Amino acid sequence: MFPIRDHNPSGRTPYVTYALIAANVLIFLSYWSLFSDPRALNQFFFDWALIPARLNSGDNPLALVTSMFLHGGVMHLAGNMLFLFIFGDNMEDEMGHLPFLVFYLVCGIGAALAQYLGAPFSRVPMVGASGAIAGVMGGYLLLFPKARVDILLIIVIFIRIFPVPAWIVLALWFGMQMIGIAGSSADAGGVAYLAHAGGFVAGLVLTLPLWLKLGGPGFWATSDGHPPHPEAQYKLSRSSIPRAGRNSRIPTIKRRR
């Protein structure tokens, strides 16, 4: 189960969101060839990814920023950029272009620091924009809890798209991070659950002043928890193939020789 789109187009072009997506994709393509050379790739991540043990010794603090523009594979990149595309435009619309960029970067740094504090002596490199995007999701939850998000649900052969309120999607996602933190070691490889949770909380806290400025609970009352724009409507097109009943007669087919 994962979100594929929302029903809440922004009121203005989200230039920063698009620029962040483009930057992540272009940077990934710039070192794509290194994936065929594990030694070169490891050296690249050593230089630019966040390695808590290096940061703990005062080495390479710039990695707090550079690491959030690196990804460990195509699916890692695609998943993060999808989440940024879904939730970033409305946050940028409400915050403004430059404040949103600062917000995004600060959330990413906060996420990296959360992972570092959880395992300051770890030598496992951390890469990915998911910490910063988690901050965007935390802010989105505070501002637009009832915004509709389309979920793609896949259970074996059952595939269906249906809309749910954003707070359900984001609360479930955050809950999964908490389960991940409880069930894994912070200094092991895999998913950086601490970074996700830290970024999410940072996004909530950093969005709180804006939410209060907009009216706090009164903002929810006036907007009903939705972005202040007309909601987009999506309809799945039906197949033109006619349905056959249980007792339908099968037509005779002539084959050409």
> In this predicted model, what pLDDT tens digit does every residue of 232-251 receive, in sequence order?
665 654 434 344 444 444 44
DSSP state of 58: T
Output the domain CATH number for residue 46.
1.20.1540.10
- Classify residue 151: in a domain, yes or no: no
- Classify residue 175: in a domain, yes or no: yes
How many domains does the chain divide into? Answer: 1
- Classify residue 246: in a domain, yes or no: no
The residue behind tokens 């050296």 is 43
DSSP state of 50: B
Domain range spanning residue 103? 9-146+166-223
Classify 231 as helix, strand or coil.
coil
- pLDDT tens per residue across span 189-228: 678 899 999 999 999 999 999 999 999 998 888 877 777 6
- pLDDT tens per residue across span 115-145: 999 999 999 999 999 999 999 999 999 999 9
DSSP state of 67: G
Neighbouring residues of 236: CB distance < 8 A, sequence distance ≥ 6? 161
Q: What is the pTM of this model?
A: 0.84
Give me the sheet containing 2-6, strands edge to edge: 2-6, 148-155, 158-165
Report CA-CA distances (Å) from 21 to 1, 58, 79, 129, 144.
Answer: 23, 30, 11, 10, 22
Torsion region of 234: left, alpha or beta (phi above 0 gives left; psi -120 to 50 gives alpha):
beta
